[in-house]
Amino acid sequence: MSCFTGDGRDRTEHCSAGGYRMASIKVAEAAPWDFIGECRRHGLKVTPQRMAIYSALKGCVEHPSADFVYRQVKKEFPGISFETVNRTLLTFAAIGLISVVESTSGVRRFDPDMKSHHHLHCIRCGRIIDIRDEGFDTIDVPGQLSEMYRIVGKRVVLHMICPDCLTPESSLPETVQG
Ligand SMILES: [Zn+2]
Ligand SMILES: [Zn+2]
């Protein structure tokens, strides 16, 4: 069923969500980000390995895990270790270059798109697809919550079953009419 295993690694090979397009909801495109400038601003040395790690992440629209990025980068830098890749991704997240996103599989997932957007999350395969929608952007945070907590971000996460996972036997029951 799930592509994910409990050891912090995932076996997801697919990385394409370009086919998902809905009438009024835009599938988000990753925003351009000044990688070199941001690294320098935070005193982080720009190395070819770090650039490759960032490029691998940017090149995948499905919010990959460290393991996915590792397997991509390893093709270019066979000597690189999983630990280095994982640590680098966490460093990127710590300086605000990327973000760690919600995941139900227990495996940490990364998002290179730092512009406000929302997520479609497949509960079967763990695929996370970016969406942009003005309606979601303008949802108000209840006043009571704003008083209790300092709200620093807002994201709508829709849980769904993606077309690839929606086989006839796995389809949801029909809504009862009337
Ligand atoms: Zn799926
Ligand atoms: Zn995202």
Structural domains of the chain in order of their starting residue, each with its CATH number: 32-164 (1.10.10.10)
User: How far lies 40's CA from each of 26, 36, 64, in Å?
Assistant: 33, 6, 25
In angstroms, rounded to a whole number, what is the distance separating the alpha carbons of residues 153 and 151? 6
pLDDT surpassing 80 at residue 18:
no
pLDDT surpassing 90 at residue 24:
no
Rounded to an integer, the average pLDDT of 30-49 is 82
What's the pLDDT tens digit per position in 83-136?
Answer: 999 999 999 999 989 999 977 778 899 999 888 899 999 999 888 999 999 999
- Separation of 69 CA from ligand 2 center, angstroms? 16
| pLDDT at 50 (0 to 100) | 95
- Separation of 157 CA from ligand 1 center, angstroms? 15
- Nearest ligand to the CA atom of 112: 2
- Separation of 147 CA from ligand 1 center, angstroms? 37
- Separation of 121 CA from ligand 1 center, angstroms? 8
